[in-house]
Structure 1
Amino acid sequence: MDFIAKATALVGGTVAYVRRRGSPSFQAFGPEPDIPEARKQGIMTLKMPVAEGWKDGRVPICAPGLAVNAFATGLDHPRWIEVLPNGDVLVAESKEQAGPPKTLMDHAAQATMRRVKAIGESANRVTLWRDADGDGMAEIREVFVENQNQPFGMALVGNRFYLGNTDGIKVFDYTPGDTALSGSGQTLVEFKPHGHWTRSLIVSSDGTKIYAGVGSLSNIGDQGLEAEEGRAAIWELDLASGKARIFASGLRNAVGMAWEPVTGKLWTVVNERDGLGDETPPDYLTSVEEGGFYGWPFCYWGKTLDDRVPQDPAMVAKAITPDFALGGHTASLGLCWMPEGTLPGFGSGMVIGQHGSWNRSKLSGYKLIFVPFANGAPSGPAQDILTGFLSEDEKLAYGRPVGVTLGPDGKSLLMADDVGDIIWRVSGAA
């Protein structure tokens, strides 16, 4: 395995160097992005920094007027965050558990992911962190629930706590102030595991429904569309009846979700397909229409065909163009709505945790960004909130942003960093 890792780094580095010379000098960002023509890759570009972590007092770089501190440390691959009404902060600690590689490319991809601790043994738990004295740093840590199956999304409705495991949604009884759940919970919906394994959750504004993001098994339906049934979609679970259905589809890997308060629409960030070039197609932020189809696997960014896929003209004709491009392969995962007044220098809009690329010649993402909104839609270019997660030569990753949410005080953001094993807190500078 060490030989494969070294060989992958050597070959991947050579391929990335060659492709970097012909890569675009811009990123596909915004409502009308300039998306380069597809360039099929016979050998996938594999480029991943080595996980370094935060050493010698190094911390992320804040936008002017902001400050950052570690809210919680010593976690095991923290991915997602949920703040309870009493201010307790829940963190899902989980990791992709790769199956046996079937091809040489599988071996290479897994070796690449291990360099940045992206796959391996999963902690499979949710921990509770409490900042009892309100100083912006948690002093109390408890195991809230453990022995789960790659837990990710979390949601609380009344005294019922919902957890998105990779194989379905479970519900537990919860009493305000509890530091641990009891019992094994009840499974409400089953999802197919593997592939894109995260299962984010969000509650409807009236508390009657839960929405769950379920990513595709493969890049472009490589194992046939039957294997993708029920995937590449956002599901809706009606809590009263227990019935679940697909709410929107054609979303290759919809992860973070958020409600936009002016229109009441659901928004999500989506990771697009690989193998067509550094900037093609871009990941995106979009509103989600009930019954909407967003193109995967047949087409991207509206009706741009992917000719690697057997086509379905009727489905292509239905494809909805996303609202806002986020750059190619930025792995935009985290998403939350930030009201005006939360952080100085920033209005209202969407905050996005960009986990960072592994499959392009020049790395992208690896930052926490903000997209301003007005009248229910993106209203300007993206702004950086936190950067500095990569070394200048792109060889080291100090951290990788994932989930993001408002802090308990309403004047800060909390962001999970699964390489640094830290929950960062961003607030106004003193």
Structure 2
Amino acid sequence: MDLMAKATALVGGAMVLMRRMGAPRTPAFGRDPQIPQAKSQAIMTLKMPTARGWRGDEAPVPAPGLRVNAFARDLLHPRWIEVLPNGDVLVAEALQEASPPKTLLDRATQATMRRARALGVSANRISLWRDADGDGVAETREPFLENQRQPFGMALVGDTFYVGNTDGIVAFPYRPGASRIEGQGRRLVAFQPGGHWTRSLIASADGKRLYCGVGSLSNIGDHGMEAEEGRAAIWELDLDTGHARIFASGLRNPVGLAWEPVTGALWTVVNERDGLGDETPPDYLTSVREGGFYGWPFCYWGQTVDDRVPQDAGMVARALTPDYALGGHTASLGLCWMPAGTLPGFPDGMVIGQHGSWNRSTLSGYKLIFVPFEGGRPSGPARDILTGFLSPDEKFSYGRPVGVAIGPDRRSLLMADDVGDVIWRVSAA
């Protein structure tokens, strides 16, 4: 039996064991989630649907009262969206790149990810899409910025355009209405690539600071905490002085960032650790306090200790409890604030793109959801906006939600779909 066959057999055995143990019937969702007791897995569950994509007129299923159409097609793994003041829509096209596998599980994981179109050659570009007639479909496409290193987050502040590449934040001069940026840019902050590679960006309301999400290198500090230096954190960059510092830490993989306008607080969605069960611990949506520590890798959902990790009692005592659970391994990535009235029947709240699980016996996520807010806090159960990304038998994915943004008309949502290679637009029916 070759190495790949051995790895596949090991993974299959682990999946059978998980099914016998039984998956939780109730997702760990909301402000007071019921989180099952951890069950450490000797071999992590691998289950990811084969990427099929959309055919013909196929599309996601919108919630009642909504419609969906393709704003842009034929991208190459679109991940993140930035809408410029003039209505131009920028899309970061990037993909995780393979590193040399070290174990049988590494080989099995990479094979699974390639089948799901989650690993391969990255386009490393940002494309510009323009809907000049305002009909909700982009007519023109331009290569806005090329030859980047896994670009992800984007932010325009004044006449400077910032890009969150996997190895750092880069600044470029920008002219209003420009359809292309040339040059190498100016490196402001350097980050270590590898591991969780996305680097989301958001500017403060006054345009003086930039915030960046940097995920961990490993699952639970597997290579030691020195290798995790500067990671599993949200960074703050002072644009006047150039000084960068860690704003909040203990966040295993903070991806989407958004401002909540009532309190002015920064919020993020975080992908939690693997190998403890289908719903343990849940991914989460949380406000982010300056200097706050959120537990990784020592503990989760407050001060629940992960006994696989060498412990630090002082750090556990500091750990803050997140605000809102999003279900186990939903891979909640995209995040934006949606004001009331943007879509009919939806109040103020956060929109979240759930990319979908690859590491649980029953798949989760694979949809675009909405969490209502009142008084600056989550105020009720989540609602679906788009579903239908996954086949009923869980064998195929037609698409996978990632980044989300309010559309240029302020009456629609845009969502990146990195398996369907589409930017979907959601509006009133």
Task: Give the TM-score, by structure 1 length.
Answer: 0.98
Matched-pair contact (CA < 8 Å) for 2:170–2:188? yes
Runs of at least 5 residues in structure 1 that lack an aligned partner in the other structure: none
Matched-pair contact (CA < 8 Å) for 1:9–1:112? no
State the Cα distance separating 1:98 from its structure 2 match: 1.6
User: Which residue in 1 is equivalent to 2:182?
Assistant: 182
Aligned pair count reads: 427
Three-state SS of the structure 1 residue aligned to 2:113 is helix
The alignment status of 1:108 with 2:101, answered yes or no, reads no
The alignment status of 1:273 with 2:273, answered yes or no, reads yes
User: Which residue in 2 is equivalent to 1:16?
Assistant: 15
User: Which residue in 2 is equivalent to 1:51?
Assistant: 51
Amino acid at match of 1:182: E
User: Which residue in 1 is equivalent to 2:311?
Assistant: 311
Matched-pair contact (CA < 8 Å) for 1:5–1:112? no
Three-state SS of the structure 2 residue aligned to 1:328 is coil
Amino acid at match of 1:20: R
User: Which residue in 1 is equivalent to 2:249?
Assistant: 249
The alignment status of 1:222 with 2:192, answered yes or no, reads no
User: Which residue in 2 is equivalent to 1:145?
Assistant: 145
State the Cα distance separating 1:105 from its structure 2 match: 1.1
State the Cα distance separating 1:13 from its structure 2 match: 4.4
User: Which residue in 2 is equivalent to 1:395?
Assistant: 395
Matched-pair contact (CA < 8 Å) for 1:372–1:379? yes
User: Which residue in 2 is equivalent to 1:381?
Assistant: 381
User: Which residue in 2 is equivalent to 1:291?
Assistant: 291
Deviation string for 1:17-43 (max 9, x for gaps)? 441341111100001100000001011
Three-state SS of the structure 2 residue aligned to 1:19 is helix
Three-state SS of the structure 2 residue aligned to 1:24 is coil
- Name the Cα RMSD after superposition: 1.1
State the Cα distance separating 1:294 from its structure 2 match: 0.1
Structure 2 matches for 1:22-421, cutoff 5 A?
A: 22-421=22-421
Deviation string for 1:170-200 (max 9, x for gaps)? 0000001000002110000000100000000
Runs of at least 5 residues in structure 2 that lack an aligned partner in the other structure: none
- Give the distance between the partners of 2:420 and 2:146, measured in 1 at CA: 21
User: Which residue in 2 is equivalent to 1:426?
Assistant: 426
Matched-pair contact (CA < 8 Å) for 1:407–1:414? yes
Label 1:11 to 1:388 Cα distance change in 2 as closer, same or farther (>3 A): farther
Matched-pair contact (CA < 8 Å) for 1:125–1:151? yes
Matched-pair contact (CA < 8 Å) for 1:61–1:387? yes
State the Cα distance separating 1:62 from its structure 2 match: 0.5
State the Cα distance separating 1:6 from its structure 2 match: 6.7
Matched-pair contact (CA < 8 Å) for 2:94–2:150? yes
Amino acid at match of 1:410: R
- Give the distance between the partners of 1:96 and 1:230, measured in 2 at CA: 20
- Give the distance between the partners of 1:291 and 1:148, measured in 2 at CA: 31
- Give the distance between the partners of 2:4 and 2:402, measured in 1 at CA: 25
Matched-pair contact (CA < 8 Å) for 2:93–2:127? yes
- Give the distance between the partners of 2:163 and 2:92, measured in 1 at CA: 9
Deviation string for 1:42-88 (max 9, x for gaps)? 11100000000001321100000000000000000000000000000
Task: Give the TM-score, by structure 2 length.
Answer: 0.98
Amino acid at match of 2:369: I
Matched-pair contact (CA < 8 Å) for 2:267–2:285? yes
- Give the distance between the partners of 2:28 and 2:19, measured in 1 at CA: 16
Amino acid at match of 2:102: K
Label 1:11 to 1:69 Cα distance change in 2 as closer, same or farther (>3 A): farther
- Give the distance between the partners of 1:28 and 1:334, measured in 2 at CA: 19
Matched-pair contact (CA < 8 Å) for 2:4–2:104? no
